[in-house]
Amino acid sequence: MKRIVVLTGAGISAESGIKTFRDSDGLWENYRVEDVATFDAWLKNPDLVREFYNQRRKEILETLPNEAHKQLVRLEENFRVDVVTQNIDNLHERAGSSNVLHLHGEATKLVSQTNPEEVVTLSGWEQTKDMTDSLGKPLRPFIVWFGEAVPNIVPAAELCQRADIMIVVGTSLNVYPAAGLLGYAKSDCDKYLVDPKEPNANLKGIHFIKKKATEGVKEVVDLIIEKYA
C-alpha cells in the first residue's frame, strides 16, 4: 500500500471560516506573536494568552470541516494516509481522518506545566483561571509556542522519509521546522502543493496547483486515485 503524507497549514481551514496567520487581515496582523504566542507572554500576561486561545477555541467549535478536509479522507480507501498538520484546530479529525499528527499543539486541550504527559481535553471553549493539574498548578494551553521545541517533528520527518506521495495544502512555509519537512521526501516521492498563492519556497519537482483548498484538494485526490489506486 502506498504511503501518503499530507502536510497542512492554516489555508486548509480558511474556507471553514478560520483566519490564517499571514494573509491580509490574518491573525498576526491583529495580534503580536510576542504578546500571545510565546512562553514569555504566558508568564507576563496569562489572562491575555488564555483569552486569545479561548477565542481560537470558540471559533473552532463554531466551524465545520470543509470539502478539502473531507476529500483527504477518501484517500484512506486505497492508501496509508498520515496528515501532519500545523493547525491547532480539530477539523481533520472531525472530517474523519484516522491519522493526524499535530505539530503545533491542539487548541481543544490543556497541559500540565510540569508533566507534558498530563494532557486534558476541554469540554467547552473556555479555559478558566482555576483549571489545574493533578498537583494543583495552573494548566497551560496545549500549544507549541514560538521558541519552543516541536516534539512531533521527529515522527513527522520519519513519515515524510517513508512517503511515496506528499501533498502540501495551505501553508506559507514560513515557519520551521515544519517548513523543512518537504526536504525529507525521497527523491522519487510524488509531490503536490495546493495554495491560491505561490509560497515563498523552492517548488522544483513539485506539482503546484494554484487553487483554493476546497477545489485544489479534490483535483489532487482525483488525480492520485486515478494514477495509483
Is 26 a binding residue for ligand APR by CB under 6 A? The answer is yes
Question: Among 4-12, 91-99, 126-134, 159-167, which window interacts with ligand APR (CB under 6 A)?
Answer: 4-12
CB atoms within 10 A of CB 109: 19
CA–CA gap between residue 155 and residue 149 (Å, rounded)? 14
Least separation in angstroms between residue 21's CB and ligand APR is: 3
For the beta carbon of residue 159, count every other beta carbon within 10 angstroms.
22
Interhelix angle 67-74/213-228, rounded to 10 degrees, is 10
Restricted to residues 179-198, the positions that interact with ligand APR (CB under 6 A) are: 195-197
Rule CB under 6 A: say whether 15 interacts with ligand APR. yes
Three-class SS state of 208:
strand
Per-residue cell: 119: 494532557
Q: How far apart are CA 102 and CA 105, in angstroms?
A: 6
Q: Does 202 bind ligand APR (CB under 6 A)?
A: no
Minimum distance, C-beta of residue 8 to ligand APR, in the bound complex (Å):
8
Look at the block and give the residue holding cell 515557519. Answer: 175
Beta-carbon neighbour count of residue 140 at 10 Å?
Answer: 20
The contact mask relative to ligand APR for 142-181 (x = CB under 6 A, - = no) is ----------------------------xxx-xx------
In angstroms, give the least distance from the CB of 170 to ligand APR.
3
Among 122, 189, 199, 206, binds ligand APR (CB under 6 A): 199
Say whether 104 is catalytic.
yes
Q: Give the residue numbers annotated as catalytic, written as ranges.
A: 104
